[in-house]
Amino acid sequence: MKKMNWMAILIYVLTMTFMVGLTHAADTIKLGASYGMSGRIGWIGGDCVEGAKLIIDEVNAKGGIKGKKIELVEYDTKNEPDTARTVIEKLIKKDEVVGILGPVTTTEVQTVTPVVEKNKIPFVVVSGGIEINEKILPEYKKEGKKSYMWALSVGTERQNEVKVLWLKKKGYKNLGNIEPLDQMGDLSQLTYKAWCKKYGLNVVAEERFDNKGTDFVTQMSKIKAANADSIGSMCSGAPAVTLVKNRDQVGMKNVPFMLSDANLSKRFIELLGENTANVYTVAAKIEFVSYLKDSDPQKKVITDFQKKFKEKYNKEPKSWFFAAVGYDSALMFIKAIEAVGIDGEKMRDWLEKQTKFEGAQAFYSWSNLDHRGIGVDQCSVMGIQGDKWVPVD
């Protein structure tokens, strides 16, 4: 009798698994989510997935794409490059997804890129540090290869362009550049130099500093000695706070300090304390939607997205930016599949041709040399007012 029970259960389980596999294979389109969902910055992945599910559930409720439901297969990369690679292999080989959302961090993206591109699957990452527009796309173009990576954040290059343009508009002439001693710093230094040259500003000082250091007065006083009237950096977090304090300490409080968009948080303003004057960064429209004019067509898209999000989850995400990136990533695949089907190469070719793609973060315009697609007109320089980041003219 006991044996019989076991056999019955076994047969039942096997059949059910088989059935599930069968039905899934038949009428769902699988997308993979490879975000870091746990650990230090696990909340980022959480926001992204909630954003993605918002649009996927909405499309599924309306019957899916041409009768096929969309399924989001989620794995946690823990924001570790090795885990991310395993996750991506699993998504491609076991789950046979047609598109991948994530990962988030630059090191993860660098690790998984060869695997994903070999399988010709489009993937949409978050990383602001990956040199997609700066290096990868020009190189691929030269070699006649196609990149399958999209990165939905403003990115170092565009951010610095917005900053330099703003400084030029305000009449500043001499930029002092100070960057952390890492890859991000290298990239930022290069792009500042290039944009300053293009828009007619002088880079009068190029300083570097160790992110683990305790005090950067030395570098700041060199920038002061070089008579800089503005300071540019891609620094974020605690070292950025120290830099700003050091700027005020050497008596350059009136010199605008352009920092990384990673500082767009209340916490950063708290850490700055009394030193919030003339501190700026750059953000896309999702970060300042309440300041947009009603005539701006993006205002409606963003407020609709925020309303839908709050209705579905009964809360706000930790960061609207990451929720919007998740939403937009899924939306890209949905629109591409509707237009050209599930072939990876066709999807990427289609995406590359889109201009004014109406995302929740921004209206993207992609090309074979721009896989970020957030134009200068989609961003604003942000300053601090009270305990808030607000767009400045």
Q: What tokens appear for 66 in the block?
A: 């041409």
Q: What is the largest CA-CA distance in the chain?
A: 91
Task: Report the residue number, 193 or 222, with the smaller CB distance to other proteins.
Answer: 222
Query: Whose structure tokens read 């660098």?
Result: 110
Residues 2-61, interacting with other proteins (CB under 8 A)? 40
Q: What b/e string do you get for 83-107 counting C-beta neighbours within 10 Å, with b at 16 or more?
A: bbbebbeebbeeeebbbbbbbbbbb
Residues 259-318, interacting with other proteins (CB under 8 A)? 267, 271, 273
CA angle 151, 156, 159 (to 5 degrees): 105
Q: Is 34 helix (H, G, I), strand (E, B) or coil?
A: strand
DSSP state of 18: H
Residues 75-134, interacting with other proteins (CB under 8 A)? none
Q: Does 249 bind other proteins (CB under 8 A)?
A: yes
Site string for other proteins, 216-235 (x = CB under 8 A): -xxx-xx-xx----------
Task: Report the residue number, 40 or 142, with the smaller CB distance to other proteins.
Answer: 40
Q: What are phi and psi of 264, to 5 degrees?
A: -75, 65
Task: Report the residue number, 20 or 238, with the smaller CB distance to other proteins.
Answer: 238
Task: Report the residue number, 27 or 215, with the smaller CB distance to other proteins.
Answer: 215
Q: Which stretch binds other proteins (CB under 8 A): 9-17, 202-210, 302-310, 335-343?
A: 202-210
Q: At what angle do helices 297-313 and 320-340 cross, to 10 degrees?
A: 100
What is the smallest separation between the CB atom of 79 and other proteins, expressed in angstroms? Answer: 12
In the list 57, 237, 357, 368, the residue contacting other proteins (rule: CB under 8 A) is: 237
Task: Report the residue number, 21 or 39, with the smaller CB distance to other proteins.
Answer: 39
Task: Report the residue number, 261 or 352, with the smaller CB distance to other proteins.
Answer: 261
Gyration radius (Cα) of the chain, Å: 23
Q: Does 355 bind other proteins (CB under 8 A)?
A: no
Cα separation values, 15 from 1, 23, 96, 248, Å: 21, 12, 21, 70
What is the smallest separation between the CB atom of 238 and other proteins, expressed in angstroms? Answer: 4
Task: Report the residue number, 77 or 219, with the smaller CB distance to other proteins.
Answer: 219
CA 53 to chain centre: 17
CA distance 155 to 364: 13
Number of residues that bind other proteins (CB under 8 A): 29
Contacts of 299 (CB under 8 A, 6+ apart): 289, 292, 293
Q: Does 387 bind other proteins (CB under 8 A)?
A: no
The neighbouring-strand residues paired with 379 are 284
Task: Report the residue number, 127 or 219, with the smaller CB distance to other proteins.
Answer: 219
DSSP state of 288: G
What is the smallest separation between the CB atom of 176 and other proteins, expressed in angstroms? Answer: 13
What is the smallest separation between the CB atom of 249 and other proteins, expressed in angstroms? Answer: 5
Neighbours of 285 (CB within 10 A): 25
CA distance 254 to 277: 8
Look at phi and psi of residue 34 and say left if phi exceeds 0, alpha if psi is from -120 to 50, else beta: beta
What is the smallest separation between the CB atom of 212 and other proteins, expressed in angstroms? Answer: 4
Task: Report the residue number, 127 or 242, with the smaller CB distance to other proteins.
Answer: 242
What is the smallest separation between the CB atom of 73 and other proteins, expressed in angstroms? Answer: 29
Residues 127-186, interacting with other proteins (CB under 8 A)? 181
Residues near other proteins (CB under 8 A) are: 40, 181, 207-210, 212-215, 217-219, 221-222, 224-225, 237-238, 241-242, 245, 248-251, 267, 271, 273
